[in-house]
Amino acid sequence: MHVGACTIFEGPAPEHEELIEAIVSRLHLVPRYRQRLAYVPFEQGRPVWVDDPHFNPRYHVRDTALPKPGGEDELKRLAARVFSQALDRAKPLWELWLVEGLKDDRFALLSKTHHALVDGISGVDIATVLFDAAPDPMPIAQPEQEWVPQPPPSDSQLLADALLERATVPGEIVRGVRATLRGPRNIVGRVGEGLVGVGAMAWAGLNPAPASPFNVRIGPHRRFTWVRGELATFKAVKDATGGTVNDVVLTVVAGALGRYMRLHGHPTDDVVLKAMVPISIRADVDRGALGNQLSAMWAPLPVGMTDPIQRLLLIRHEMQSIKDSGQAVGAQVLTSLSGFAPPTIVAQAARLQSRQRFFNVVVTNVPGPQFPLYMLGRELEAVFPLVPLAKNTALGVALMSYNGQLNFGLTADFDALPDVEMLAEELESSIEEIAAAASVPDRRSQRPKAGAVGTSE
């Protein structure tokens, strides 16, 4: 359940110790990166974040190198192996891998951060503490005092705190309800909107997604590949046809999935797959804060529609209906309520959800900075994001915009999708198709086509 990215930089790789020193000098800006989880005895409460008294940055910041010829195919295979490895739950839940040996005078950085630590939009803000907006950055203000870890709580203290929370939370709920009922009528109206949204989201989730080759039992190993895109192409299609950039993204993904299914002999006539689209419910004032504040909407993917414009118009209409139904409001209400559920009930609900086919594929689109970033004076060339796979879901599609690019990262189960590079090629074709149908130029520069997928052994 870690999110991550493969980032490529121009120039020679920094020394390992130089990178560690740079990261340590900024860790005070993200204090949770020096914290680990402490588990409440007998599962009587949610795990809590505590300082790691044995924190060692050299465990988390690692270095490796690519075999010759050091191309992007080799980088994809390495990234897949790194992303396949679970994070150690007894330590702070992140890793950075410095990758040397990438040809054309470049190097890469692989990042892994557990989903519990950040959500997509907040994660972008946190990542910027490692990057600079100029090759020669301004000095970083140092902490007033050296970091000293707080002693971890004992098991008895963790249990006592959890039982105290369980005893006091119902009172907080009652007080919150009373405050709401005493408030103006527009507050009560918002509560009604929330209940409508919960119903809309529940109805969307309880309608099972159709069977597909992307919904099978998965294992622990992964494949990882990517497709480069230009944000200007997607914006031009959006301007020519209406809707949003995300509507265009879903149209392109649906086109690629349909092409892939037909190539493998799967019928697609009248088939509408369901995409789980994560949405951030983090308020603007909370951007950059640590913690997970994500929920989801269910988006249609009409893979049987071969006309890209008709497919886009249908997706645009359906997405607007989903927004009007209040699914996003319902998601926020449900996320708030989950904080009050006993951990054992939440765990059982998660296991139940993993056994249902609520969606076929995850598609997440994270906005990034539209200006160059630098690390230790080296310019960031490209970002390829990674999304974790849910149970019985063999494919995840993540996108991130950066400095005019809109790049796709495709994560796949190693055994279920051995030819995910074919899907990447169909994704390239789907981008070209929608641009041509909308009579806009495909503004991608001359870049190599998607190559062989990374593998995990």
Q: Give the residue numbers marked as catalytic.
A: 115
Q: Enumerate residues 6+ apart whose C-beta is below 8 A from 347.
A: 43
Q: What's the angle, vertex CA 405, arms to CA 403 and CA 406, rounded to 5? A: 130
